[in-house]
Amino acid sequence: MKKATVFIKGGFGNQLFQLCLANYLKESGFKVKINTDLFKELKLDTPRELVLPLNNFNLKEQNLLSKVKFNYFLKLNSSNTINKSVLKGFFSSYKFTKDTEDILNQNKNLFSLSHSPMCEMLWRQYNLWNDDHEFAKYDLSKVKDLKSKYLKEFIFNFYKNLTDKKILFDTKLSWSNINNIKMYRDIFNDKPKIIACVRNVEDIMASYYLHFDKQDRFWDL
């Protein structure tokens, strides 16, 4: 049986993605263990901890022996000496990803873009089509129909050249801007699907306080 270790870190939203990955690997035939050591290793302004019990997902914490073996193979896998030797073939079938921001792309059915320029490019194109002065000589009703068709093709062609996967996450924060949501609705005549990972107000305020304190700035509420 294939084995997988999923490292959990971040806030509630990130943890949900990581636990979903663990569940996906489990359903795909992997023997999955969870490692929460990054909560202790990463020195964050706002301390993190596991939000949901692993028992809710029928998952178990990685034991000490398994951690030692994983870290040992991780070092060997990243060794230049090993990669230049005949042992490289042995490690080619193993994938060690202890810490990555690219959690979504570990799912073979998903494609994720973390710093996509699409929202900004689409906004510029959209506003050009809304400039009546540019289309003063044309039937504006026909221009409006053409605008929607053109912008849809513009979006699909952009993503099509990056991936052939049917499920895509564009995690650019600017998509949540109200004007960009209105733009999407105007183009597709439908509401966009936005996943918003919510953070406790207390945690946000604590982060601000620590940043101000590090900079010796006065915190005036």
Return per-residue pLDDT of the chain as tens, 221 residues. 677 888 888 888 888 888 888 888 888 888 888 988 888 776 666 678 888 888 888 899 988 888 888 777 777 766 667 667 766 666 555 555 544 446 677 677 888 887 789 999 999 999 888 776 666 666 666 667 788 899 999 999 999 998 888 888 888 888 889 999 999 999 999 988 887 777 677 776 776 676 666 666 665 65
List, in order, residues 6 or more apart from 193 with CB less than 8 Å away: none
In whole angstroms, what is the distance from residue 148 CA to residue 140 CA? Answer: 13
In whole angstroms, what is the distance from residue 169 CA to residue 163 CA? Answer: 11
Structure-token pair, residue 158: 């952009």
Structure-token pair, residue 47: 């301390």
pTM equals 0.50
Q: State residue 4 phi and psi, 5-degree precision.
A: -145, 140
List, in order, residues 6 or more apart from 76 with CB less than 8 Å away: 82, 91
Distance from chain centroid for Cα 47: 21
